């Protein structure tokens, strides 16, 4: 029949067992004869030590001393150890005499009270060590639990923040897209129907990625191509689109809807502000051991880089949440009346 011992009882038995073996080892080392009486006395000491320390443990738990600052209960704890040592000494000496296990040495010939004082002092030291080990174990367990709880809380906060950001991105995109379609309804119904088809494809892809923290770049590019195709119906020849994608980067993970958000930002704040329209170019490549995505569009920032809108702020927030300091995002004016948004992320060694 298999006996399942708790961690506490396993430590009790092993700890006192090691103490017994250490006692025999040191007795042998210092030339003391290992007699039957000595072994019997040691076994009695161990048999008394386990229940007495167990009662001491129950007292600590019942009085909730583990959760009280040590300076407030140090006196109570010390008195409890002394009391336990007295009980241990009285019981052990009484059993030695009753079983005729007294060793022949000067200490054993001393009066009972003297022997009890000496044994109480010795056992107090052992019990203090036991209590110290017990407190240290719970201290490290408590710290470990706090660390686990902290990581769980951080993970929960991270998940909630990501969900909050996602819930804002989709409505923001939908409203802009519907405005684009509305502009086509009267002027070109056929193109409006095609635009609705493009939008349904985008929304379907968006819903499929809603529960994901990252998606492959190729999946995100599919959404962006549909979105830009929709916008080209509205801007016609005023919008030119260019893709320069390294095929090796297609499986790299990126935050869902991030690239679409940046493309939308390029259209809304760049192309739509230009009388003659302009160009949106998207590139993806490995640069200096990182995955680098660059979106360029015609236009200027007008010096408002410190007051970025929701789309750009959500990009920065999501990169921080997912990759921390390993990812960067910047947007700036570049020569040629262009704006450049650059995302740099760590490379994920996915199987291609």
304-329 pLDDT, tens per residue?
444 556 668 778 888 888 888 899 99
What fold, for 188-346? Heat Shock Protein 90 (3.30.565)
- What is the average pLDDT score of the chain? 81
- Calpha distance 244→336 (Å, rounded): 19
Residue 285 confidence (pLDDT) = 96
Sheet holding 338-346, edge to edge: 239-245, 278-287, 290-298, 338-346, 328-334
Residue 328 confidence (pLDDT) = 94
Which of 57 and 157 is assigned the larger pLDDT? 57
Residue 170 confidence (pLDDT) = 54
pLDDT band, very low/low/confident/very high, at 37 (cuts 50, 70, 90): confident
Which of 252 and 325 is assigned the larger pLDDT? 252
Query: pLDDT (tens digit, 9 = 90+) per residue, 135-173?
Result: 888 888 877 877 777 777 666 656 655 665 555 555 666
Domain spans of the chain? Answer: 7-150, 188-346
On the question of pLDDT at 112 being above 80, the answer is no
Residue 134 confidence (pLDDT) = 86
Query: pLDDT (tens digit, 9 = 90+) per residue, 82-103?
Result: 898 888 888 888 888 888 776 5
63 half-sphere exposure, CB direction, 13 A CA radius: 16
Residue 313 confidence (pLDDT) = 79
Which of 196 and 234 is assigned the larger pLDDT? 196
Which of 287 and 63 is assigned the larger pLDDT? 287
On the question of pLDDT at 351 being above 50, the answer is no
Beta-carbon contacts of residue 286 (< 8 Å; ≥ 6 apart): 246, 248, 249, 292, 347
């Amino acid at each position: 029949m298999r006996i399942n011992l708790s961690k506490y009882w396993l430590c009790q038995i092993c700890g006192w067992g090691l103490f017994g073996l250490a006692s025999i080892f040191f007795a042998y080392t210092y030339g003391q004869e290992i007699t039957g009486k000595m072994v019997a006395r040691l076994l009695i000491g161990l048999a008394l030590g386990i229940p007495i320390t167990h009662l001491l443990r129950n007292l600590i738990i019942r009085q909730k001393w583990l959760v009280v600052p040590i300076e407030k209960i140090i006196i109570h704890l010390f008195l409890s150890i002394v009391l336990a040592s007295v009980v241990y000494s009285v019981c052990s000496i009484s059993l030695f005499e009753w079983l005729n296990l007294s060793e022949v040495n000067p200490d054993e010939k001393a009066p009972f009270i003297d022997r009890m004082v000496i044994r109480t002092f010795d056992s107090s030291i052992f019990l203090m060590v036991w209590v110290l080990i017990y407190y240290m174990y719970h201290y490290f367990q408590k710290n470990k639990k706090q660390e686990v709880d902290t990581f769980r809380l951080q993970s929960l906060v991270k998940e909630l923040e990501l969900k909050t950001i996602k819930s804002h991105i989709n409505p923001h995109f939908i409203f802009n897209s519907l405005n684009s379609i509305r502009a086509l309804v009267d002027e070109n119904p056929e193109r409006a129907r095609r635009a609705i088809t493009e939008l349904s494809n985008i929304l379907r892809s968006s819903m499929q990625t809603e529960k994901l923290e990252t998606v492959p770049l190729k999946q995100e590019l599919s959404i962006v191509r549909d979105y830009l195709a929709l916008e080209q119906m509205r801007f016609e020849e005023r919008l030119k689109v260019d893709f320069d994608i390294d095929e090796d980067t297609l499986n790299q993970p990126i935050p869902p809807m991030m690239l679409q958000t940046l493309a939308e930002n390029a259209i809304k704040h760049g192309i739509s502000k230009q009388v003659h329209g302009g160009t949106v170019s998207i590139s993806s490549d490995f640069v200096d051991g990182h995955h680098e995505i660059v979106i360029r569009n015609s236009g200027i920032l007008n010096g408002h880089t410190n007051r970025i809108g929701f789309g750009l702020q959500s990009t920065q927030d999501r990169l921080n949440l997912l990759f921390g300091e390993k990812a960067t995002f910047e947007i700036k004016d570049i020569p040629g009346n262009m704006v450049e948004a650059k995302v740099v992320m760590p490379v994920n060694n996915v199987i291609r």
